[in-house]
Amino acid sequence: MTNQDNQLGKPISAIQVGATFSLTETIKERDVLLYMGVTDDSNPAYLKQTQDAEMKTVVPPIALMGILTRTVSMHFPGPGSRLIEMNLNISDPIPHNSTLTFDFEIIRVEELKQFVTIHAIGYYADDPRHERVLDAILTVLPPEENLDQLTDKIDAGVFQRITGGDTFDY
């Protein structure tokens, strides 16, 4: 393992609103079968062998969430990131062997609370209109920065203890 393999993704101080990342991926039947094996989810909508001729097999939503999660943890912001919340909307069933493009954009950086909000959309890669079939909002904790070097620069005098109560006197 090289030193580069151990590198963390971008810390919150290096992330800007408007930053983007994109990937295109084909979701194969093999991917769906792996999902089904791990989760023991045997929904007939996911299997060709149990389908009526008129029904199309669809990709399980959790498999799509896995692509989003993997992108956050491996690429954007990268290793060391933790997904803490996801809101996912799939507007149309996505059939097996679909090639989707996923576009990610940082829409909020909350330095005080140490999280970023990412908007992700998914559309068929061959669709020139980029009509969304997937829309997600992700709340992510980027990798933590090493604060050891900053401790001598922090002035503890600016921190004050606030006691409980319903009102504050200023």
- What is the pLDDT at residue 55? 64
- What is the pLDDT at residue 54? 60
Q: Do residues 22 and 76 touch, judged by C-beta distance below 8 A?
A: no
- What is the pLDDT at residue 139? 97
- What is the pLDDT at residue 33? 84
| 81 C-beta neighbours (distance < 10 Å), count | 25
- What is the pLDDT at residue 72? 96
Kindly list the structural domains of the chain, giving each domain's residue range(s) and its CATH number in brackets, ordered by start.
22-158 (3.10.129.10)
What DSSP string describes the chain? --GGGG-----GGG--TT-EEEEEEEE-HHHHHHHHHHHT---GGG-GGG--TTPPPB--HHHHHHHHHHHHHHTSS-TT-EEEEEEEEE-S--BTTEEEEEEEEEEEEETTTTEEEEEEEEEETT-TT--EEEEEEEEEEPPPP--GGGGGG--GGG-------S----
Cα angle at 34 between 51 and 21, to 5 degrees?
Answer: 105
Can you list the residues of the chain whose pLDDT is less than 70? 1-6, 48-55, 145-170
